Amino acid sequence: MHESSPRPAALITGAARRVGAVIARTLHAAGYDLALHCHASWAELDQLIGELEASRRDSTIALQADLADVDSLPGLVEAALARFGRLDALVNNAAQFHATPLADATAAQWDTFLAVNARAPWFLARAAAATLRDSHGAIVNIVDVYAERPLPNHGLYVISKAALAMVTKVLAVELGPQVRVNGIAPGNVLWSTNPVKAETPQLLAERTTLQRQGSPQDIATAALFLLRDATYCSGVILPVDGGRLLHI
């Protein structure tokens, strides 16, 4: 193991692109060293790491794993510890997402959704528990506003995110008082390319109190707050949705 870094270190799953990459940039700018995970988005992860290393050398490590493979999960924590000597934060951002209409959904899809979206955060938290207790660290799970409401034709996704919401609360109890565990429930922060789910600006305005789309930066800012600043919050799932939950 390397000598422990003086800077806090975070492990982020699904960090190569979209919301995960913005969380990575935000935590890095706040002084975190980063263990950045991807499954298949190596090109995007390489580009992100190049950008972050240009800003601060020796501050990142790239990790790859299929989160559905539960046996691979402890290795992510071990690699982060070997590189930085510490772990202060875990961000479970990676997620399986696609439509699964009732008539077409398969048992294999059920297993994959639950494995990636709920089981992996649980077992990553367990693998990281000892070091997070040592650092009095924190976990943030990226849930979804639709963990509380059905999204048509996306049953397996919303079921898995509802499971993740309960994982968040259970971990808060199991890992307290040393480790804080919270979640973020994003609303519409990226335009969807999925025609089953896509919204027009008019629909977005009708369904959101603030009548505008959010951004990945809104999620990243909330993640930094929950990891670093919200020192008396645990077991909270923070909606970052512009008031979406009031309309669905």
The amino acid at 41: S
Residue 196 located in a structural domain: no
Domain with 182, as residue range(s), is 9-190+216-242
- In this prediction, residue 158 carries a pLDDT of 97
Residue 195 located in a structural domain: no
Residue 205 located in a structural domain: no
Tokens of 62: 């790239």
Gap between the Cα atoms of 96 and 157, Å rounded: 7
Residue 145 located in a structural domain: yes
Gap between the Cα atoms of 13 and 65, Å rounded: 9
Q: Which residues of the chain have pLDDT under 70?
A: 1-2, 191-198
- In this prediction, residue 100 carries a pLDDT of 96
- In this prediction, residue 194 carries a pLDDT of 55
Residue 1 located in a structural domain: no
- In this prediction, residue 192 carries a pLDDT of 65
Containing 224, the helix (H) or strand (E) segment is helix 216-224
- In this prediction, residue 187 carries a pLDDT of 92
Residue 161 located in a structural domain: yes
- In this prediction, residue 207 carries a pLDDT of 87
Catalytic residue among 32, 146, 157, 232: 157
Which residues pair with residue 113 across a beta bridge?
A: none
Gap between the Cα atoms of 35 and 80, Å rounded: 6
Instruction: Provide the whole-model pTM.
Output: 0.95
- In this prediction, residue 203 carries a pLDDT of 83
For residue range 6-46, list pLDDT tens digits in order.
999 999 999 999 999 999 999 999 999 999 999 999 999 99
Residue 220 located in a structural domain: yes
How many domains does the chain divide into? 1
Q: Which residues contact 94 (CB under 8 A, 6 or more apart)?
A: 13, 14, 20, 37, 39, 67, 116, 120
Q: What is the CATH number of the domain that holds 63?
A: 3.40.50.720
Look up 157 and say whether it is catalytic: yes
Residue 108 located in a structural domain: yes
Give the count of beta carbons closer than 10 Å to the beta carbon of residue 51.
Answer: 14
Alpha-carbon torsion (90, 96, 102, 105), positive or negative: negative
Count of alpha carbons within 13 angstroms of residue 60, beta-carbon side? 26
Measured CA to CA in angstroms, residue 187 lies from 27, 113, 153, 163 at distances of 21, 20, 17, 18
Peptide bond into 177 cis (omega under 30): yes
Q: Which residues contact 173 (CB under 8 A, 6 or more apart)?
A: 235
